[in-house]
Amino acid sequence: MGHDKLRKFAENETFACLLQPSAAELLSDGYFNLKDHPIKGHWAERMFGREPGAEIILELGCGKGEYTLDLARRYPDKCFIGVDIKGARLWKGAKTATLEKIGNVAFLRTRIEFITAFFAPGEISEIWLTFSDPQMKSENSRLSSPLFLERYRSFMRPGGLVHLKTDSRFLHEYTKAVVRANGLKLRCCTEDVYQRFLDSASGSARNDNSVISTERREWRDLDPVVYEVQTFYEKMFLEMGLPITYMQFVIDHDGPYVHPTDFDEKFWRDAEGPRRSFSHQPAKK
C-alpha cells in the first residue's frame, strides 16, 4: 500500500463527518443477521445536530463525494450522506467537507449490502445512484435490483424517491424493466440528460419519446442538480460524447419486489460494449 493511501487512511480517522464501522462487528451474528450500528435511527441528532425526523438523502457508491457535497451546499436545510467502501476516495469528500465546514454532509464507509444495519424505518427520504457499476453478470449485485430495492424500502419514507444517473444503457434499461415489473411510479426518464436539457432551455420540441414524465412536468422544472452537477467519471464520459441517462421513480410497493421477465439482457449487454472497463479505472488524484 502506497504512502499516500496510508496518509489518507490515517487522516480519515480524524474526520468527524466520516463514519467507518467495523465489518467484523456488523457480521458478528452472521451475514443474514447483521448487527445494527448504534447510529441507526439517530443520524439527524448524532451526526448532524438536527431534530429527529430531519430530511436525510443518501448517495450510494459516492466515490469522491462530488454529488453529495454539491447537494449539501445547495440544500443546507437537508442532510446528505455519501456511502462508499473505498476509503481513499471518501477521504476527498470528508476532507472537503471538513475544510469548508459543511455541517449537513457526512460519509459512511461500508459495503452497500450492509446498508440496512445503519438506517431505521422512515429515516431516509431519497437515494441517488450515480454511475453505479452495472454488474452485467450478477443481477442481485445491481443497486437497482429487487434485492436492493427491498433493502431501501426498509428505511425509506412513504413516497421515497430513487434517482438513477448513469452512462450505462444496460443499467438504465434494466432498471426501467424493474420499475415496470413492479408497477412503480416512474416520475421521469430520459436517455440523454444533456440533450433534453438543451432542447428544453431553447424551447425546441422533440417527438422521439426520449423523456417519459408521468406527472407531465416540464423538464426545466426538475431539480437542476440533475444536469448541473457532474461526477469525476461523468465529465470523462461527456468528453467522449457518451449520453448520460437519468430516471426518477417512487419506491413504494406492496409485497415483495419481483424480477423483470421482459429485459433482454444479452441484447443490452452486447449494445453496451467493452467501455465499462474504462469507467472503473482507479480515479485520478
Give the 3-state secondary structure of residue 101. coil
- The answer on pLDDT for 36 being more than 80 is yes
What cell does 64 get? 469522491
Cα–Cα separations (whole angstroms), residue 186 to 17, 84, 171, 176: 33, 26, 16, 8
Please report, for residues 124, 195, 225, the alpha-carbon distance to residue 44 in angstroms, rounded to integers and kept in the order given.
10, 38, 23
Q: Is residue 261 in a domain? A: yes
Rounded to an integer, the average pLDDT of 117-129 is 97
Q: How confident is the model at residue 49 (pLDDT cuts 50, 70, 90)?
A: very high
Mean pLDDT of 175-197: 90
What gap in Å lies between CA 265 and CA 70, rounded to an integer?
34
For residue 285, being part of any structural domain is answered with no
Residue 219's pLDDT band (cuts 50, 70, 90) = low
Please report, for the chain, how many H helices and E strands are present, in that order: 12, 9
In-domain check, residue 132: yes
CATH at residue 62: 3.40.50.150
**Domain tally, the chain:** 1
Is there a catalytic annotation at residue 77? no
Tell me: pLDDT of 196 over 90.
Answer: no
Q: Is 284 among the domain residues?
A: no
The confidence band for 275, taking pLDDT boundaries of 50, 70 and 90, is low
- Confidence class for position 71, pLDDT limits 50, 70, 90: very high
Residue 269 — very low, low, confident or very high, per pLDDT cuts 50/70/90? very high
pLDDT for res 220: 53
Distance CA(90)–CA(170), nearest Å, equals: 27
**Is the model's pLDDT at 202 over the cut of 90?**
no
Q: What is the mean pLDDT of residues 65-79?
A: 95
Look at 79-88, 111-120, 200-209, 271-280 and tell me which has the smallest mean pLDDT.
Answer: 200-209
Structural domain harbouring 215: 3-279
Mean pLDDT computed over every residue of the chain: 87
- pTM score, whole prediction: 0.88
Check whether 132 has a pLDDT greater than 60: yes
Pick the catalytic residue from 133, 192, 199, 252: 133
Is 7 part of any domain? yes
Q: Which of 38-42, 170-174, 207-211 has the lowest mean pLDDT?
A: 207-211
**Cell numbers representing residue 212 in the block:** 417519459
Q: What is the mean pLDDT of residues 169-194?
A: 94
Please report the pLDDT score of residue 141 as a whole number.
96
Which of 82-86, 252-256, 265-269, 275-279 comes out lowest in average pLDDT?
A: 275-279
Grid cell locating 116: 440496512
Distance CA 229, CA 71 (A): 9
Q: Does the pLDDT of residue 278 top 70, yes or no?
A: no
